[in-house]
Structure formats: C-alpha cells, structure tokens
Chains A and B, each alone.
Chain A
Amino acid sequence: MHGLSAVFEKEFRDHCGSRRFMILFALICLAGLSAVYVAAQSIRSDLSSDSSTEFVFLKLFTSSSGVLPPFLAFISFLGPLVGLALGFDAINSEKNSGTLSRLLSQPLFRDSVINGKFLAGLATIALMLASIMLVISGLGLKLIGVPPSLDEMVRLIAFLLITIVYVAFWMAVSILLSVLFRQAATSALAGMALWIFFAFFMPMIAGIIANVVVPMNADPDTLTLLRHENVSQMASRISPTTLFQEATVTVLTPGIRTLGPVLVRDVIGMIPSPLSVTQSLLVVWPHMVGLVALTLICFAASYTKFLREEIRA
C-alpha cells in the first residue's frame, strides 16, 4: 500500500502548491465572498420589513439582489472548471515527460497510480470547497448576525457533499480525457467542450427533443403540455449540470417540494410549509445517486483504459 499513499501524498502536495489551484481558489473565494456580501445586504433590508428569519442563513447562498448572481450559480459555473483543471493532464503529461515509465518501473501496482491521482484530486476538491464554505459562512454570520439552525447546517453539509461529488465528476471526466488523448491541450479543450455542451446546449437540445417526441400544436391541451414538459425535463437530466442544479437548489431551498411541473389541482389545500431536511434529501436522492454513478463510470473507464495500455518510453 505504500505505493498508493506515496502517489497520493505527492499528487496532493502538487495540487495544493500549483499555480492553477491558487488561481481557481482565489477566483472562487472572491466570487463567493462578493456574492454572499451582496446577498447579505439585500437580506438585511428585507428583514426589517418582513420579520421572518426562517432559513435566512440559507438565503445567503441562494438569493441575489440582481447585481451579482448567488453563490450557488457561481459554484455551478466554476465548479466544473476546478474539476477539469485538476485532472486534464493527470496521465498524458506524465507520459509525455517520460516520468510515467519511470514511475511504473517502481514496485507498485499500476492502479495505485490512477487511484492515488483520483483520491488526491478528490481530497484537494474537498479541502478547497470546505474551506471556501467556511470562510463565506463566517462572513455571512458576521453580516446578518443570525446563526444557522441545525436544519440549516445539515442542508449546508449536504450541499457541500453534492458539490464535491459534482466537481469530482468533472475531474473524473478530465482524467478519462487525459488517458484517451496524448496531448494535454487536446484533453483540456475536449473537457471544456463537454462542459459548455452540458451547461449551455443541453437545455436547448432538451427542448428540441421534447418538440420531436411530443409535437405541440398552436393550442395544446393540458395533457400534451404536461407530457412535453416532462420529456424536456428528463432529457435535460442527462446533463450532470442539470442534476447538480436541481439537487442543490432543492437542498438549499426548503420551500421546494417537488421538481417538475405542478398542477393547480395539486396545490389546492396544500399547507405552504417548508420540507424537513430528510424530505428534501429524499426529493434529490436520485440526483445524488446519478451524480455519484456518473463519476464512478468515468473513473472506471479511465481505470480500465489505463491498466490495459502499454506504456512505452
């Protein structure tokens, strides 16, 4: 096992000391701090008029005054970038610089190399996101002066875990690309292309798919409308970005009771109370399972490819 721990330690140290990590860390810190600051300002002005402080701490992460997007939006935008940056040259740069064949001639199992790299990336992501969350929570606490309830803490921890998994998914994608492509630049670009596809084009494509599957005439009846909406939503859930957004919004907003279209019929007689943590988690459980599964699939693919490859000097 000393092989795995040696690789892990080296990679973790490399990540933490690397310039790209520092740049991204600074960027997310800056975005997070300013988003929370702006959110806190608007929360303070809202609070004086409407005196409900329920879940006010969570609003730090989800609400915005229109000047800056909320922290949630920042993280769903920058998170993939962090994941891609940590993995896009994991294997191919070692191949190109000739360190891989030296590494593999040491007495360690080959999978220790890729496992160690993945775990080190995961640890880096966890460290980075957890510290950013702590810093901006501290700032938020100072600004609004309302401590988070236990319920809110659990929700924030769930949010942190989902975010870690989401960023780890993008890292797994980029490690896979670094196994597949020989040039680090190619794998970085391919990663960016996938990210842009899922973040920006997938919602449009989901609409097109829905139009094909459920054609809409000029005056569609309710049933067609509902089916159209359902197809569109399911199609967009192919994208891990959608999964992440739906999951985090639900976890951080206790008022969200269900995802997808709601009929007036369903709302009649409903007591507009927030969901408990466990109920919110239950709503997004499939999303979380989906994200973990996608991460594991990407990692398994890179693992298999890497283990079967012949590494020549």
Chain B
Amino acid sequence: MGERAFTETTQTSKPGLALPVDETGAPLIVHTSDLTKAYGDFVAVDRLNFSVREGDIFGLLGPNGAGKTTTILMLLGLTEPTAGTMRVCGFNSTRDPLNVKRIVGYLPENVGFYEELTGRENLQYTARLNGIPAQEAERRIESSLAQVGMLEAADKKAGQFSRGMRQRLGIADVLLKNPRLVILDEPTLGLDPDGVNQLLDLIVRMSRQQKITVMLSSHQLHQVQQICDRVGIFVKGRMVAEGNIEELWKQTLKGRRLIIEVQAVPQGQQTVTALQGIEGVEAVERSGEMLLLSCNRDVRDKIAKAVGDAGAALLHLRLLEHGLEDIYFKYFREG
C-alpha cells in the first residue's frame, strides 16, 4: 500500500504522502505521538510528542544520553518503539521503513566510510543501494560533491580523510538520494571551530537552496542555535521545551538577572550614573576596562542612547552569553 501511495505523489517535487498539518496549517514532516522506547526498566524516550515543520531547520538539543539518537533511530525505522506512533514524510516508520529511508537522509554520529575505497566509490555504492541508474548517479555524485566542496579530494581513499572531510562527504552521501528530510546526529561533534562554521553554512545552504527540511541533534547549544528555526530541548527522554529559540530565551530570562558588558569613552562617573539611570538596571560594577550592568530585563536598546546623552561614545556592548547556557541549564536541572 505504501508503494502505491509513494508513486501516486511523485508528481510533486519531493516524493511522499500527504503530510499532517499543525494548527496554523503548516505541513509537518515529522510528527510523533506518545513515542516511547524502553530498554527493560530503563525508559530512553518517554511519551515524546513533537513535530517538525516542512522547510525548517529543527534542532534536537539535549545532553548526552537524553535519548536523541534513540529517537532518530525510531524515526528512521532502525529500531522499534515500545509504544506510540510517528509519521515521517507521511509514512509510518515502523511499518514502512523502506519508504522512509528512500526519502530521508541520515548522517550518523560517527559516520564511517569504507576506508579502502575512494570517496567517490563510497558514494557510488550508496547510489547503487538506492537504485539510482548509473548515469543519473554520476551526475548527482558530481553535483553533491561540488556542493560540499569535495570534488578534489573525492578520488582519495576515504581512510585518509579528516573528520571534517568525512562529515562533508557524509552530507554529500545524504544529498545523493535527493532527500526530503535530512537527519544529522551530532554533526558538529569533534570539529574545530572553523569546521563547525563551514558545516553549519553547508547545512543552511542545503536547507534553503534545495528546500530540504533538516533535523539535527546536538548537545552544543551555542553551536547550533544560530542556524535553527526551532529547537526542542530534550532531557532524560522527555521534550521539556519546544519552540523558537528567541521565545525560549525570553521565557527563561523572565525573572532572571542579565549581565550586560559595556565599554565607553570616557568611562567616568558621569557615564556610570547615566547607565544607572536606565530603567531595569540594578547595579553597575567595574571590571577591568569594562562595566558590568546587572539588569532585570534586556536593556541593550537603551544603553547607546544613555551613553550618548552622557557625552560619551559607546565602544562595546555585549550581552554576556550566560543567557544561552541558562536556557540549557534551566531545563537540565528541571528535567
């Protein structure tokens, strides 16, 4: 039945069944209800309900051992849930894993390639496993290698690749099947900061240019939050918060103190007094060349004006990133 439904909808740009929609009418490419996975007494995923809207970059964030990988394996039909159901691209992953795997690309946490084969040969194998005809496969391999910037390195043995190259080759591998949804498990793990930025750029480009929905898991909130449209925070098998990162942040900061770092010239008493005069600022301290403002809300918009009014010039203004970690730790503790 899945097979027939699959062919019926191939006229649309990306294959798949009609998707369920959320309350705003946005199509949901991933939708789970009460998804549970238990290993004996240990509940790895506990009645999980979440959805990913088509076209979004969704971040599944949580500490190690939160059940992120287990959730991903269930979505791909690689492991069976103990209870609950899910729909991925409209298919039931448990009953119809083959159709899910046909249109969902998965980059595992420790992606490996056959070391004795070249990068290109590895991709050719994937193409054959997906039943892509040889000519079409060559074309797709070229274009996906070009997209990840691996055209030159592709003819080297995969055993010689660095971790960053393996991740990029992994993305090329995933793009081959022309996926509708791409699931990346800890894609930035073990990369240097440069590598992380390159990879995140690549993910954003892939998502925007080819209209691919991306779901990525990570325990490094500050790395991935910049590219995620929505995030779900996942602790001990439960989704403790889900939504737009800005909203989550505001929620978290409610009732908390923020620290804003300011540097101005001249940084005399007059400037300090002006800063203290801003509504919401509770205290101003000196810390080396910087002034640290403790506030009960985000007052960055008012600082420039206050400094200017005091006859000084603003050199530096930064909200100390504690806020992001705060989101994380708040939910970790509560979870």
Q: Which A residues have a C-beta under 8 Å from some C-beta of B?
A: 2-3, 6-7, 9-10, 14, 94, 97-99, 101-109, 310-313
Indicate whether B106 reaches chain A with its CB closer than 8 angstroms: yes
Contact between B129 and A103 (Cβ–Cβ < 8 Å)?
Answer: yes
A313 to B73, CA, bound (A): 10
Contact between B112 and A97 (Cβ–Cβ < 8 Å)?
Answer: yes
Contact between A313 and B98 (Cβ–Cβ < 8 Å)?
Answer: no
Contact between B129 and A313 (Cβ–Cβ < 8 Å)?
Answer: no
Query: Would you mind naming 7 contact pairs between A and B with Cβ atoms under 8 Å apart?
Result: A2-B129, A9-B128, A14-B114, A105-B78, A107-B98, A313-B69, A313-B108
Indicate whether B111 reaches chain A with its CB closer than 8 angstroms: yes
Contacts of B110 in A (CB 8 A): 98, 313
Indicate whether B54 reaches chain A with its CB closer than 8 angstroms: no
When C-beta atoms are compared, the residue in chain B nearest to A18 turns out to be B116
Checking B108, B113, B114, B126 against A101 with a beta-carbon cut-off of 8 angstroms, the contacting residue is B108
How far does the Cβ of B258 sit from chain A's closest Cβ, in whole Å? Answer: 38
A10 to B69, CA, bound (A): 28
Indicate whether B131 reaches chain A with its CB closer than 8 angstroms: yes
How far does the Cβ of B174 sit from chain A's closest Cβ, in whole Å? Answer: 9
Contact between A105 and B106 (Cβ–Cβ < 8 Å)?
Answer: yes
Indicate whether B273 reaches chain A with its CB closer than 8 angstroms: no
Contact between A98 and B130 (Cβ–Cβ < 8 Å)?
Answer: no
Q: Which B residues have a C-beta under 8 Å from some C-beta of A?
A: 69, 73, 76, 78-79, 98-99, 101-102, 104-116, 125-126, 128-131, 170, 173, 177, 185
When C-beta atoms are compared, the residue in chain A nearest to B170 turns out to be A102
How far does the Cβ of A100 sit from chain B's closest Cβ, in whole Å? Answer: 8
Contacts of B111 in A (CB 8 A): 98, 102, 313
Contacts of B185 in A (CB 8 A): 313
When C-beta atoms are compared, the residue in chain A nearest to B99 turns out to be A107
Contacts of B125 in A (CB 8 A): 6, 10
Interface of A: prevailing SS: helix
Checking A94, A106, A109 against B130 with a beta-carbon cut-off of 8 angstroms, the contacting residue is A106
Contacts of A311 in B (CB 8 A): 78
How far does the Cβ of B72 sit from chain A's closest Cβ, in whole Å? Answer: 9
With contact pairs A107-B98, A310-B73 given, residues A2 and B108 touching in the complex (Cβ less than 8 Å): no
How far does the Cβ of B211 sit from chain A's closest Cβ, in whole Å? Answer: 21
Contact between B98 and A98 (Cβ–Cβ < 8 Å)?
Answer: no
Contacts of A104 in B (CB 8 A): 78
A105 to B111, CA, bound (A): 12
How far does the Cβ of A153 sit from chain B's closest Cβ, in whole Å? Answer: 39
With contact pairs A107-B129, A107-B130, A312-B69 given, residues A98 and B112 touching in the complex (Cβ less than 8 Å): yes
Contacts of B129 in A (CB 8 A): 2-3, 6-7, 103, 106-108
When C-beta atoms are compared, the residue in chain A nearest to B76 turns out to be A105
How far does the Cβ of A111 sit from chain B's closest Cβ, in whole Å? Answer: 12
- Most-contacted residue by chain B among A6, A9, A107, A310 (CB, 10 A): A107
A105 to B93, CA, bound (A): 12
How far does the Cβ of A120 sit from chain B's closest Cβ, in whole Å? Answer: 13
Contacts of B126 in A (CB 8 A): 102, 106
Contacts of B76 in A (CB 8 A): 105
Contact between A99 and B113 (Cβ–Cβ < 8 Å)?
Answer: yes
Contact between A99 and B114 (Cβ–Cβ < 8 Å)?
Answer: yes
A97 to B126, CA, bound (A): 16
When C-beta atoms are compared, the residue in chain A nearest to B103 turns out to be A107
How far does the Cβ of A21 sit from chain B's closest Cβ, in whole Å? Answer: 13
Contacts of A107 in B (CB 8 A): 98-99, 101-102, 129-131, 177
Contact between B128 and A105 (Cβ–Cβ < 8 Å)?
Answer: no
Contact between B128 and A2 (Cβ–Cβ < 8 Å)?
Answer: yes
How far does the Cβ of B158 sit from chain A's closest Cβ, in whole Å? Answer: 10
Nearest first, the 3 closest Cβ-Cβ pairs linking A and B are: A98-B112, A313-B108, A105-B106
Checking B99, B108, B115 against A102 with a beta-carbon cut-off of 8 angstroms, the contacting residue is B108
A103 to B112, CA, bound (A): 10
How far does the Cβ of B114 sit from chain A's closest Cβ, in whole Å? Answer: 6
How far does the Cβ of A294 sit from chain B's closest Cβ, in whole Å? Answer: 31
A6 to B122, CA, bound (A): 12
Checking B79, B105, B128, B177 against A310 with a beta-carbon cut-off of 8 angstroms, the contacting residue is B79
